[in-house]
Amino acid sequence: MTASNSVATHPPSATRRGRRQGTKVRRQRVRAAWLFLVPMLVTLAMVAGWPLLRTFYFSFTDASLADTGGANFIGFENYLGYYQGAWYGLLTDSAWWQSVWNTLFFSVVSVSLEVVFGIIVALILNAEFKGRMLVRAAVLIPWAIPTIVSAKMWAWMLNDQFGIINHLLMLLGLIDAPLAWTADADLSMWAVIIVDVWKTIPFVALLVLAALQMLPRDCYEAAEVDGIHPIKVFFRVTLPLITPALLVAVIFRLLDALRVFDVIYVLTSNSTSTMTMSIYARQQLVEFQDVGYGSAASTLLFLIIALATVIYLYLGRRQLGGEE
Amino acid sequence: MNTRFAKSLAKRIGFWSLIAVLLIYAVFPFYYAVITSLKPSSALFQVEYWLSSVDFSNYVTIFTQGSFVQAIINSIVVAVSVVAIALLLGITAAYALGRVRFRGRTTVMMIVLGVSMFPQVAVLSGLFEVIRTLNLYNSPGGLILSYTIFTLPFTVWVLTTFMRQLPQELEEAAIMDGATPWITITKVFLPLMWPAMATTGLLAFIAAWNEFLFALTFTLTNEERTVPVAIALISGGSQHELPWGPIMAASVTVTVPLVILVMIFQRRIVSGLTAGAVKG
């Protein structure tokens, strides 16, 4: 930069000297940049890169948790094997496929609900009214509460005998008998979704609100002058304009939902009707000590999420290299 | 005239009742937890919407019995250490990624973003082995190490975004004076980056404070557990008799500081979250 700026005002020899000095500074800066990056990259390699490679490796072995070093290579048997006329392995395990289905169902339903309600909440917070800051702070509360705590709070509210939700629903005459929210196989997934949606609406709402506040005011004034109905304005003007921010929020939330663990673990434990891929993998790894089989499940989960990440990177690539 | 007045009145009533619903929805579960925690165990199974009397016996229970106090100390130690490490490694990396143009920068950014999307379960068995090899199993050290997997990429990402927004001229003067990159970071950027670092530090703190899966897997004894695991594992005489009073008291105790922090730093948190997502 400095060298090219001086071209016009300095004689040629000075330019060359300036350029040489510029390159030296540049080289020094690049060297420093890498020096600064090394500690971070080493840390990430130690906690993410290497463990991930080990998980891939374990998925092809019969490793157990007690002794991960003494594992034997068994090829694809954790995934799929054939012995005496019967197939076995993860891909034939109906519990695994149940957990895949549960994860997808949970992710799609909860993220859809979060987006719809997130937009509604953001629109409310975008209006100008007294005490807006206070309401905005209050809406952040569910986000600030630790997931474990919110799961416990809701477990108590959804308690079948003494829970306030059942009490309220019976008071309103909507149900005749208390519902076993977390124990009933048909209801427990919905209980989990209620809790997750409650906790993450603030996140989606804030992202949408940030996008709403960057919208140009003039086209709204124009729409108002023309007497166009607000709902029409929302679908024709607002929604298209906030779609990029919405997309980011959806993908962030989707990646989070696909790896969900804690809220379900606390609310319904290892129940098969709500078991997700993360819970299935951890159960194999830690409770059954079967590191090989559990790692195979983890590897498949990783591949699914990697696919989603690649899509995200593809969509976000423009922003990534934006300033070059 | 009258119909218009009635219409605008209806609109306002509708709007404010919407706000009321929103407030109840957001605050009620926490409010109910507070109420439950202040009830004696005998009154627990009577549904009430407000408090008739205040009873602190549940709080006495959690602070005098078991290892809840130890769990709070463990959580603070782990979260503070993780934040310190993430900020130190993050600010230097953010300088490199945000201010210097070099080959491979986009690749490094991709790696950082990729790691932040990792499902924690995918590294569980490998990380377990690393932690056991380093002799950090069942100790805060193991948790501090493993928590960098989600705090570090996030910190690097957000700080890089903030760093890029600072004007170019700032650095040029320092380069002209022959300042080394380290001096440039500490003397030029650090004073300007404090707000951004406070935001990312706070978000990283909350993430580390709330983490559950690693804490559950990499600790074994009550003395080494963090708060979320301690709360999740509070149990009563049998599976169907959970001591809800103490559970709610513990929940409220660990949540109140967070809620206060969020209230105070509301603006900063919002800007940090949106910088991490929208602009990223």
What DSSP designation does B280 have? -
Average pLDDT over residues A107-126: 92
Based on the fold, state whether residues B150 and B26 are members of the same structural domain. Answer: no
Q: Are B172 and B94 in a shared domain?
A: yes
Average pLDDT for residues A30-55, to the nearest whole number?
90
Could you tell me if B84 and B129 lie in one domain?
A: yes
- In the predicted model, is pLDDT for residue B26 greater than 80? yes
Give me the mean pLDDT over the B214-242 stretch.
Answer: 82
Percent of chain A with pLDDT over 70: 90
On the question of pLDDT at B16 being above 80, the answer is: yes
- With 60 as the cut, is the pLDDT of residue A9 above it? no
Residue B276 has pLDDT above 70, yes or no: no
Contact B278 A210 (CB under 8 A): yes
Instruction: Test A255 with B27 for CB contact under 8 angstroms.
Output: no
Taking alpha carbons only, the member of A128, A191, A120 closest to residue A160 is: A191
> Is A285 within 8 Å of B125 when comparing Cβ atoms?
yes
Q: Is residue B10 part of a domain?
A: yes
**Has residue B184 been placed in a domain?**
yes
Contact A124 B122 (CB under 8 A): no
Using the predicted structure, report yes or no on whether residue B57 has a pLDDT greater than 70. yes
Provide the number of CB pairs (under 8 Å) joining chain A to chain B: 291
Residues of A in contact with B124 (CB under 8 A): 51, 55, 281-282, 285-286, 294, 298
**pLDDT top residue among B21 and A74:** B21
Average pLDDT over residues A77-99: 83
E strand or H helix at A54: helix A50-58
What Rg, from alpha-carbon coordinates, does chain A have?
A: 27
The pLDDT of residue B212: 92
Q: What ipTM does this complex have? A: 0.87
- B132 and B26 in one domain? no
- Do residue B176 and residue B47 come from a single domain? no
Res. B236: pLDDT tops 70: no
Question: Which residues of chain B are within 8 Å of residue A200 when distances are taken between CB atoms?
Answer: none
Q: What's the confidence (pLDDT) of residue B75? A: 93
State whether B102 and A34 contact (CB < 8 Å). yes
Task: Average the pLDDT over each of A9-13, A38-42, B62-66, B265-269 and give the range with the smallest value.
Answer: A9-13
Residues B122 and B254 in one domain: yes
Residue with the bigger pLDDT between B84 and B165: it is: B84
Q: Provide the domain count of chain B.
A: 2
Q: Which two tokens stand for residue A163?
A: 């829970």
- Whether residue B192 sits in one domain with residue B76: yes
Per DSSP bridges, beta strands A81-83 and A86-88 are: antiparallel
Minimal Cβ distance to B181: which of A32, A54, A162: A32
Q: Averaged over A173-199, what is the pLDDT? A: 87
Provide mean pLDDT across the span B110-138: 87
Residue-averaged pLDDT of chain A = 83
- Is B146 buried (19+), middle (13-18) or exposed (0-12) by CB count in 10 A? buried
DSSP state of A172: T
Domain span holding position B114? 66-279
pLDDT at A10 over 70: no
Average pLDDT of chain B is 85
Residues B151, B115: contact at Cβ < 8 Å?
Answer: no
A106 — contact with chain B (CB < 8 Å)? Answer: no
Distance CA A45, CA A51 (A): 8
Give domain status of residue B165, yes or no.
Answer: yes
A45 in contact with chain B, both atoms CB, cutoff 8 A: no
Structure tokens at B18: 């919407």
Token pair of A31 as six digits: 């060297």
* pLDDT band, very low/low/confident/very high, at A316 (cuts 50, 70, 90): low
- Residue A15: pLDDT band by 50, 70, 90 thresholds? low
DSSP annotation of A45? I
User: Within a domain: residue B193?
Assistant: yes
Query: Whole-angstrom Cα distance, residue A142 to residue B27?
Result: 8
- B277's CB contacts (< 8 A; 6+ apart) are A207, A248, A249, A252
Segment A186-207 shows an average pLDDT of 90
> What is the C-alpha separation between A265 and A274, in angstroms, rounded?
9
Residue B245 inside a domain? The answer is yes
Alpha-carbon A5 to chain mean position: 46
- Dist. CA A27–CA B185, nearest whole Å: 17
Domain C-terminal end among B13, B29, B55: B55
Q: List, in sequence order, every residue forming a beta bridge with A81; answer none if it has no partner.
A: A88
Q: How far apart are CA A299 and CA A281, in angstroms?
A: 9
Instruction: Name the band, by pLDDT with cuts 50, 70 and 90, for residue B279.
Output: very low
Q: Is the residue at B191 inside a domain? A: yes
How far is A301 from A291, CA to CA, in rounded Å? 15
Residue B61 maps to a domain: no
Shortest Cα distance, chain A CAs vs residue B262, angstroms: 7
Q: Are residues B244 and B174 in the same domain?
A: yes
pLDDT of A16? 58
Most A CBs within 10 Å, among B31, B115, B125, B149, to test the A interface: B125
Asked if residue B132 and residue B71 are part of one domain, the reply reads: yes
Do B96 and B141 lie in one domain? The reply is yes
User: A298 vs B254: CB contact, 8 Å cut-off?
Assistant: no
Check residue A20 and give its pLDDT.
63
- Whether residues B135 and B200 share a domain: the answer is yes
A261 → closest Cβ in B213, B255, B273: B213
Shared domain for B76 and B206, answered yes or no, is yes
pLDDT of amino acid A88: 80
Label residue B52 exposed, middle or buried (CB < 10 Å: 0-12, 13-18, 19+). Answer: exposed
Identify the pLDDT of residue B9.
Answer: 87
CATH number at residue B79: 1.10.3720.10
B279 vs B137, higher pLDDT: B137
Average pLDDT of the residues in B246-252: 90
Q: Which residue of A has its CA nearest to B228?
A: A148
Q: Kindly state whether residue B60 falls inside one of the protein's structural domains.
A: no
Q: Answer with the residue of higher pLDDT: A4 or B138.
A: B138
Q: pLDDT: is B270 or A213 the higher one? A: A213
Q: What is the DSSP string of B83-140?
A: HHHHHHHHHHHHHHHHH---TTHHHHHHHHHHHHT--GGGGHHHHHHHHHHTT-TTSH
Burial (CB < 10 A; 0-12, 13-18, 19+), residue B269, is buried
Residue in B112, B125, B263 nearest the CB of A298: B125
Instruction: Single out the residue of A93, A50, A126, A110 nearest to residue A250, CA to CA.
Output: A110
Distances (CA, A) of B216 to A229, A232, A264, A299, B225: 53, 50, 14, 21, 8
A146/B227 CB distance under 8 A: yes
Query: What is the rounded radius of gyration, in angstroms, for the C-alpha atoms of chain B?
Result: 24
Q: For residue B114, list chain A residues with Cβ-Cβ distance below 8 A.
A: 309, 313
Q: CB under 8 Å to A66, separation ≥6 — which residues?
A: A289
